[in-house]
Structure 1
Amino acid sequence: MPIQSRPILRRHALVLLGATIAGGARAAGMDTVNARAFSFEKPEGGTLALSGLAGKPILVVNTATACGYAGQLTGLQALWTRFGDRGLTVIAVPSPDFGNQEPLDGLAIAEAARKDHGVTFPVVAKTHVRGPSAHPFYRWAAVEKPGSTPNWNFHKYLVARDGSLIGAWPSPVEPNDPRIVTAIANELPTG
């Protein structure tokens, strides 16, 4: 087999794995696998199913309350305040993966984000976002946007209204960056 074919086969294998993880999406209809196939555990119990956000853009951000970038929670809240009534959902995904800068657990994470940064958008349970124990959403996103995976806290993914992954921005890119704001605005209904 030519060496050039191996990355394509590896990508196809990862997509199939993601489909299986996502709940057994039909192998013949891989176009059905998108972000809506995933859900996150809530710290208070239950799940936040992305399928319940169909037709709405979603900004998914891996967070950590003790990170130097934690001030971005305030910027994420500003996006939620500005665009939430037009359909945007911001989801904080606390992660222990980068220097264990999320020392809290359970509801204490959401409470710290609310108290210190005024966060009112959903904060899910502490979740791994990289490596073999990464949450299935993050494994799917790694296939969809190779080379744009989280290298630190506050990596941002934008999911389009159709469930496709349309944007990825690394930690240093602030939530109010024109690239993020424009991408979100382009996904919102006009009116």
Structure 2
Amino acid sequence: MINRKLRRTTAIGPWYCTNVGNWLQAFFLAVVCREQQRYRDLCEIPVDLLREAGESEGTRYNPSSYHWAAALQDFVLHRPGLAENLTAAMELSTPERAEISDPEYLNKITFPPMNQGLALHGDYWTTGERINDIDGIVSLPLLALACLGYDTAEQNPDFHFDVESGYLPKHLLENSWYGEFPT
């Protein structure tokens, strides 16, 4: 919808902005907004296409990002390969394996969604001049994973979710604003 009207556009095919970073951002936003069909559709986009299009103009992404996207796709679509992709993403995102990203950013921001996270997120964003950076208010990847956990706990009585943090907005996490705003 644009300006409250449904608009149809013509697809132009993969472009440099069809990259793994934008895919991850779109995926996490769709999960937080509980747009299940949207994040399932995103999971149908081949990771190789994200790599090819995203790097078509010379931009490089950390190799762990591709395995992380593949692991998320495997999880959502119940495909084999989750363990292998998650392991590869974790191994490639350790600071000593940093090829592109700053090792501190990898250790405290990139890697934590697959490990611990909330404490490291707070530590990273409350250090030095980053303390006033709006990017540190909420960790979108951690919020999205928490939403998946919360929703799983709502459906599966054997799964328990009991994480609270100022970095995880309560109403987004608990889905209590669902339907409040048109999408």
Shorter-chain TM-score: which interval?
under 0.3
TM-score (norm 2): 0.25
User: Comparing both structures, which one devotes a greater share of its residues to strand?
Assistant: 1
- Greater RCO, 1 or 2 (C-alpha within 8 Å, sep 6+): 1
User: Comparing both structures, which one devotes a greater share of its residues to helix?
Assistant: 2
